[in-house]
Amino acid sequence: MIRGVLFVCVGNVCRSPMAEGLLQSVMPMIRVGSAGIHAQSGMRADPHAVAVMQANGIDISEHRAQPLSPSLCVAYDVVFVMDRALKHSVLSRYPQLRGRVYTLADEGIADPYQQPHDAFVECHARIAAAVDVWQPRLHALARTSARDAS
């Protein structure tokens, strides 16, 4: 059964909240969350990330960062990371996630943190393309979970 999808980046203020907002907007039936391997609890999403998402009709202004934790590892079935280095870091800290962690895009998605607004626009485009690629698989998992629950 799929209990949800978790996006993980470094600080949980740029890429993962953008990915969370995107997937939640196109798949509202799935629980979606985000976290960071070095997140400072309670930090708001980067203003550029908020602006880019708002320009695309998605509000992430209420987002608050949270660190990746053992309880989050248990609460979500699928974990997406933004690049291979993050995958290695997550799996070295939480080996129980092996087989459940995927790189969102094969070529990775660069961190726009402290970059100009255009870097966030590009990041959004890359995340949106990757979410589009994964969406059919996630729909299939959600349908399987719904059948298993009944």
Residues with a catalytic annotation lie at: 9, 15, 111
Q: Give the helix, strand, coil percentages of the chain, each rounded to 5.
A: 50, 15, 40
In order of 13, 29, 49, 131, the CA distances from 138 in angstroms are 24, 11, 24, 10
Closest alpha carbon to 72 in 24, 39, 47: 39
Beta bridge partners of 142: none
A 10 A CB-CB count for 144 gives 12
DSSP string computed for 66-116? -B--HHHHHH-SEEEESSHHHHHHHHHH-GGGTTTEEESSTT-----TTS-
